[in-house]
Amino acid sequence: MLPATRSLLPAFLMRFIVLGSGSGGNAAVVEAGGIRLLVDAGLSAKQLVDRMKASGVDPASLHGVLLTHEHGDHVRGLRVLMKALPAPVYATPSTARIVRDSGVDTASWKIFESGAGFQLNGLSVQSFAVPHDAVEPVGFVFRHEERSFGLLSDTGHVTKLILDRLRGVSALFVEANYDDALLEADMKRPWSTKQRISSRHGHLSNAQTAALIAELAPSGLRRVVLGHLSRDCNCPVTAAATVRASFAEIEVCCAEQDKTCGWWD
């Protein structure tokens, strides 16, 4: 039995908020159909709770925590957060195993196979596999009535499967990790790290993300939040400009590391 969401959100609306995004930690909240989900918990538990409360989200009202993958910037706050939360954690089998072995204890694990979907009240959650250097990473599409929202975080390249799954979403959170020229010019990172970031199992560049958005735009994509921007190898102005250059009629904003981006309905 799912607890009722203590929220004024009308059941017909879908909305989401990025609590923070970047290599320092990632987390977002998605709400629709009376269901409220935290996606990833990569900020500290205190930051997660503080930012949820500041956004009008009582952590106790969460119906679950969904994990994209096990990297620290996506699960850092989970162990402490779950000590106080009765909500289940949703993860693929391998991701759940690694996160559980790292000491995360929760009242219940909800395991889903990569590529599988599940239903929470009226909210449908569809997962899809993504290429990234984690054990079993996934992205998600959330659907409620005619509304849909895609979430694609750490991904090395855009596969046909990703395109197929995201086609038709009206809003999208997608990583735009680095600008090719800024990554190339970066002096802080050793060559091997740059290779890992730009590899087919690393992260998406602004240009790769812009190409994905241009592909999805004709099938109804109208609003995009860019996330996981590298502090050193990207900047919001460059990332947004690259996306707009490939498809002008799209509403674009960039999620930030140190504060929430505000609710998107």
The one segment of 2-10, 32-40, 148-156, 248-256 that binds Zn ion by CB under 5 A = 148-156
CB of 117 to Zn ion, least distance (A): 22
Task: Give the interface segment with Zn ion, choosing from 14-22, 77-85, 149-157, 162-170 (CB under 5 A).
Answer: 149-157
Q: How far is the CB of 63 from Zn ion (least distance, A)?
A: 24
Q: Is 154 in the site for Zn ion (CB under 5 A)?
A: yes
- CA distance linking residue 169 with residue 140, whole number of Å: 11
Q: Give CA angle at 209 (208, 210), nearest 5°.
A: 90
Site string for Zn ion, 42-81 (x = CB under 5 A): -----------------------------x-x--------
Question: 71 or 143: whose CB is closer to Zn ion?
Answer: 71
The closest alpha carbon to 149, from 6, 32, 19, belongs to: 32
Least distance (Å) between residue 27 CB and Zn ion: 11
Question: Which residues make Cβ contacts (< 8 Å) with residue 112, sequence separation at least 6?
Answer: 90, 91, 92, 118, 127
Residues between 113 and 132 with contacts to Zn ion, criterion CB under 5 A:
none
Rounded to 5 degrees, what are φ and ψ at 123? -95, 125
Which segments within 40-180 are labelled E, that is strand?
64-66, 89-91, 109-111, 117-120, 123-129, 138-144, 147-152, 171-175
In angstroms, give the least distance from the CB of 16 to Zn ion: 18
If the CB atoms of residues 73 and 179 are measured against Zn ion, the closer one turns out to be 73
Size of interface with Zn ion, in residues (CB under 5 A): 3
CA 190 to chain centre: 27
User: Smallest distance from the beta carbon of 56 to Zn ion, in angstroms?
Assistant: 26
Q: Is 85 exposed, middle or buried (0-12, 13-18, 19+ CB in 10 A)?
A: buried
What's the min distance (Å) between Cβ of 70 and Zn ion? 8
Q: Contacts with Zn ion in 202-261 (CB under 5 A)?
A: none
Residues at the site binding Zn ion, with contacts judged by CB under 5 A: 71, 73, 154
